[in-house]
Structure 1
Amino acid sequence: MSRAPRPTELRLRGVSYENRLIDADLTARPGETIGLVGPNGSGKTTLLRCVYGTLAPTGGSILLDGADLSALGPKARARRIATVPQDGATEFELTVHELVALGRSPHKRFWEGDTAADRTLAEAALARVGIAELAHRPYPTLSGGERQRALVARALVQDPALLVLDEPTNHLDIRYQLEVLRLVRDLGTTNLLALHDLNLAAAYCDRIYVLERGRVVTEGPPADVLTPRLLRTVYGVEAEVIPHPRTGTPTVFYLPGPPVEQEASAM
């Protein structure tokens, strides 16, 4: 967007939240795109909420470039971290352009209005996510996929160093799933995102963390993590994992049949 982001490192050390997240360690190095995968209820959204501040961890620490995030106020945190939540509010009484321009709020005093530069940034973000023609539509009238792209545009305008996304491809058709993830990778930010689609995670993430029942059970490059044994153990499905013939990224092919008996998670 307006500048090249400053490289940012995120570290979680022993982070817990009640019984929903237990002793989670995670490192996102500057410029990396890190994927969180795991079954429903595994702790992905809880971990993300601890990072962007809607939940306060009950244990452990979260560091951004070595600084404890718990010491930052909401506005200071918002200057560094932009979020696209899974359950973003859907009834803003704003136009799409006005909603996107709110991404500039952390960088201004509360009484300051939008400047010409703010408007230019919002227009550029809307164009990048493919909804420039919807700028003057009321946000509540958009489809689910259009709303998701508007929330991504708002995060871009925030000019973050760390971008946190919870299921950013929800409600999007295939074209925009690929375009949004490609855009995220090309921003130059450090990115942390939860995904259900393992093939998208393999194609767009540098490393993957797998969560199960609130715990990180393994992490590493997609080719090391996405194995038939892991899919059987964590997801209870039989699958083959084959390198893509053009890209070489691991591609998961699920095999038909009833759920398999899950092994103990000793990854």
Structure 2
Amino acid sequence: MLQLQEISYETGGRVLVDAVTLHADTGETVGLVGPNGSGKTTLLRCVYGTLRPSSGHVLVDGTELTGAKERARRIATVPQDGQSAFELTVREVVAMGRSPHKRFWEPDTAADERLVTEALARVGVLDLAERAFPGLSGGERQRALVARALVQQPRLLVLDEPTNHLDIRYQLDILTLVRGLGTTNLLALHDLNLAAYFCDRLYVLQRGAVVAAGPPAQVLTPGLLAEVYGVRADVGVHPATGAPTVTYLPGPGAGPDVPRPTGERKSSTI
């Protein structure tokens, strides 16, 4: 179980996260949504320890994690777009997920290698195992980082825009995989329809503060989308999934009015 108690973070006199209180029950998938600059990534960094909150507490199963090793055993992270300065292979990057469970000099065991191979296969990059990680496409890197998180065997999985650079098939595959792991998951997403379908609850951030929280059907309303995102939208219920579905509309509140195209589209030759 994850609990954030009045988490704030400020730097250079600017408050980037403002007294955020949040909880994710065991096995829940909780989403952070909000426009660019709303504080989602900063808040996640406070959770997994890259940033130290200016105030407040991060509790996992009721305990505030202090040491880096202890934190890494309990929390696995998938950043937005991981880069590597070293010419490590994909397999070597994924195997790094075992390091919190090993001594610094301890070699990989057969069990470790099996976990790495299974994770590579689950996210669809087993055929890239011997490729250099920096040479992968953005989507391939993202899937490899999810595999690294899997071999870490965490209780809590924190993902920052895990669908970045992925085509729609792998967006659905990755989020379905995450939902099926049995871990507690906290993830930031831009796509509100994916968030509505895959998350049990949503927290909406605006200028670093939570402005709405609850099940997607309660949170994703036309009024909230207009207030937080500055867009007009219809919110319905998808007949097949039962999840809220957001349809964005042009017009006032959504930037300059753009006339809807009418008639046949003219073809062009390049």
Instruction: Name the TM tier (shorter chain).
Output: over 0.9
**Structure 2 unmatched runs, 5+:** 256-270
1:128 pairs with 2:98: no
CA distance in 2, matches of 1:225, 1:33: 15
Structure 2 residue aligned with 1:253, among 235, 247, 250?
247
Residue of structure 2 in register with 1:33 after alignment: 29
Percent same amino acid among aligned pairs? 71
Amino acid at match of 2:103: R
1:198 pairs with 2:204: no
Between Structure 1 and Structure 2, how many residues are aligned?
Answer: 251
Residue of structure 2 in register with 1:107 after alignment: 101
Q: Deviations over 1:162-213 (max 9, x none)?
A: 0000000000000000000000000000000000000000010000000000
CA contact (8 A) 2:81 2:141 kept: no
Residue of structure 2 in register with 1:21 after alignment: 17
SS in 2 for 1:39: coil
Structure 2 residue aligned with 1:211, among 205, 209, 222?
205
* Deviating more after overlay: 123-132 vs 84-93: 84-93
CA distance in 2, matches of 1:90, 1:62: 28
Residue of structure 2 in register with 1:265 after alignment: none
Amino acid at match of 2:142: Q
**TM-score (norm. length: structure 1):** 0.92
Residue of structure 2 in register with 1:10 after alignment: 2
Q: Deviations over 1:14-51 (max 9, x none)?
A: 11001000110000000000000000000100110000
**TM-score (norm. length: structure 2):** 0.91
RMSD: 1.0
Larger Cα-atom Rg: 2
Following superposition of structure 1 onto structure 2, how do residues 87-236 of structure 1 map, counting pairs within 5 Å? Answer: 87-236=81-230
Residue of structure 2 in register with 1:58 after alignment: 54
Amino acid at match of 2:227: T
CA contact (8 A) 1:11 1:26 kept: yes
